[in-house]
Structure 1
């Protein structure tokens, strides 16, 4: 009886953890927004599309950056998510390194999510 109760409690905690993560921290569940800019890497391997996301009446705008792969068949992935921004300043350092609004990322593996920087 005690083992069953502990198992149920652990499963509930795991389920709640998954729900919180997927709804509040998963970059794949970000709002789409409207396209405001796109930049191609110097070698043409990547294109980053930037979207302005309206947070609604009670929150500020945000910027979502989506990395697209031009030379291989691979799904686009979110690499940049920042709150309280409505413009994008981007500069490519080299073929795989980019600076987005002062945040440096090495592509394709690094990403920036303001919710994880606190």
Structure 2
């Protein structure tokens, strides 16, 4: 009788360890998948390979840094434009992304309006992504 009770206790311990191991494994795999999705779709820092031009707005409010990304032999060049807030403590914002482009011609129309390669943006809210256009 005592052996049956010890057997049941041991069985419960093993079951708890097994559930705990599956839960930790599930959290680990979920974390890795989440980071992979973030890195693939939202982390634009990997596109900042070569700074090609930097331009500050007439009033000094913003600076736009344009980076050229070489995707390799099978992918064309990409230009990424990043808005830096000079007078505010904010993180830089991706405002321009153009595929099959190698240059960035930045023209300031005023302190809030910029034209990058013939795409006009009202800063700081509008962005341009070649897949979706101006937003």
TM over 0.5: yes
Q: Runs (4+) of structure 1 moved beyond 6 Å?
A: none
Q: TM-score of the superposition, structure 2-length normalised? A: 0.66
Change (3 A) 1:38 1:108: same
* Contact 1:81–1:114, Cα closer than 8 Å, also in 2: yes
* CA RMSD across the alignment: 2.1
Shift of 1:28: 4.3
* Contact 2:82–2:94, Cα closer than 8 Å, also in 1: yes
* C-alpha separation in 2, matches of 1:36 and 1:28: 16
Shift of 1:29: 6.2
Return the structure number with greater relative CO, CA threshold 8 A, min gap 6.
Answer: 1
1:55 partnered with 2:71: yes
* C-alpha separation in 2, matches of 1:112 and 1:27: 17
5 Å-filtered alignment, 1:1-118, equals 19=37, 23-24=40-41, 26=42, 28=44, 31-117=47-133
Q: TM-score of the superposition, structure 1-length normalised? A: 0.75
Task: From the two aligned structures, give the one with the greater helix fraction.
Answer: 2
Change (3 A) 1:101 1:27: farther
Q: Which runs of 5+ in 1 are unaligned?
A: 1-14
* C-alpha separation in 2, matches of 1:99 and 1:27: 24
